Amino acid sequence: MSACKENDEIQFGDTPSRVKEWLNCKLSENKQKVYVARGWCKRCGICVAFCPVKALERDEEGVPYVLNDICISCGTCEIICPDHAIVVSELKAKKVRKK
Ligand code: SF4
Ligand code: SF4
């Protein structure tokens, strides 16, 4: 797989194959427990409010980011995001391994 481009982001209207490429790239980086698609996030804050351990904070634009040391990879944020803009990397890896 080719190296991930820095600050690579998906946007509304991107093709499924483009989204898959972005996701695979993020998961292969394996740096964060949670990845947020900035172009899909509407900055509603629901994920931040529902995280059971307060592992999500918001940047200056209101987009959430994870505090890796606190996140327990429970998956709540991924399930609850109305825009499918969050991926919990450990859960995604498990799903891929099962296939
Ligand atoms: S719930 Fe989804 S759309 Fe709302 S702030 Fe979180 S990632 Fe963004
Ligand atoms: S996976 Fe769970 S603990 Fe981690 S940021 Fe999401 S809701 Fe919080």
70 lies in a domain?
Answer: yes
Q: Report the distance separating Cα 98 and Cα 81, nearest Å.
A: 24
**Residue 99 pLDDT class (50, 70, 90 cuts):** low
* pLDDT cut 90: percent of the chain above it: 60
Which ligand places an atom closest to the C-alpha of 66?
Answer: 2
C-alpha–C-alpha distance, residues 54 and 73, integer Å: 12
Specify the pLDDT at position 2: 53
Strand partners, 35: 87
Ligand 1: does its nearest atom lie under 6 Å from the Cβ of 38? no
**CA-closest residue to ligand 1 atom 3:** 41
Q: Considering the domain boundaries, does residue 34 fall inside one? A: yes
pLDDT category of residue 24 using cuts at 50, 70 and 90: confident
DSSP, collapsed to helix, strand or coil, labels residue 50 as helix
List the domain range (segments joined by +) for residue 53: 16-93
Mean pLDDT in the chain?
A: 89
Distance 4 CA to ligand 1 centre (A): 23
pTM of the complete model: 0.84
Average pLDDT of the residues in 27-55: 93
- The arithmetic mean of pLDDT across residues 49-58, rounded, is 98
Length, in residues, of the chain: 99
Residue 21 has pLDDT above 70, yes or no: yes
Query: Per-residue pLDDT for 1 more than 80?
Result: no
Q: Which ligand has an atom closest to residue 36 CA? A: 1
Q: State the CATH number of the domain containing residue 65.
A: 3.30.70.20
Residue 32 belongs to some domain of the structure: yes
How far does the centroid of ligand 1 lie from the alpha carbon of residue 5, in Å? 23
Q: Is residue 60 part of a domain?
A: yes
Total number of domains in the chain: 1
Write down the residue that tokens 């080719």 correspond to.
2
Is residue 88 domain-resident?
A: yes
